[in-house]
Structure 1
């Protein structure tokens, strides 16, 4: 019976590359000369530290561009609140890795509402879809690509 998994994963190696690109770009940009600005990475948590809110926003824009170049969807970013302490401004960014329970339930509900001849079940931080025909599974993929979800989805582990 054909099946595939719906996941939301961020490639950690590509994320490291994107963070390195941002730090290099910030170090080379003219408007950041003499400014103490950096982007730190700890697992899937990023921390921007700089002198002003404007510089934080510029670094976030550079990060979005770097993520796109590294084939990571910027929707995976969850941007936290700005924290001001003394002369430094900090902003935490979390990269969402894995489907959250609420989103997994929403995906299963979307599939069931379409009344396709497939079964969808939540398995940990992924959703497994099984069906009798490969075409039905491809219809599910096309339907989910067309929906506006707040997290990027990947389809993997396709089996015939």
Structure 2
């Protein structure tokens, strides 16, 4: 879909390439956030695209199942990340207490990167859902490289 606008595709790939591969935010947290947003925004394509990356980053079957629950039961650090992701996704506004709770677990740089990741993947999921981008059928092949599958 993005290739209908090459200029948009170029900027999109730059932003998401940085988020996926050039930040200090740990990969397990990045993928936890992406999959949680996929659940909240009912973006099945996004889940399908990122589940393998989440597994490679160390998320287990139990973790993936937990992400689909209304109130996932994780350790304190992940619970706070989920609370922040949920607030940004559902309400946009994040109360001070939710943000401050993250400070014990992340540096200022990581907090900025976490916020950018949540914001960017809300953009991705909303783009996919609005344009009704469907999950590929099982066993289907695609010409899109795996590292760019969520575009």
Pick the structure with more strand per residue: 1
Indicate the structure (1 or 2) with the bigger Cα radius of gyration.
Answer: 1
Q: Do the structures match in fold with TM over 0.5?
A: no
TM-score between the two structures when normalised by the length of structure 2? 0.25
Pick the structure with more helix per residue: 2
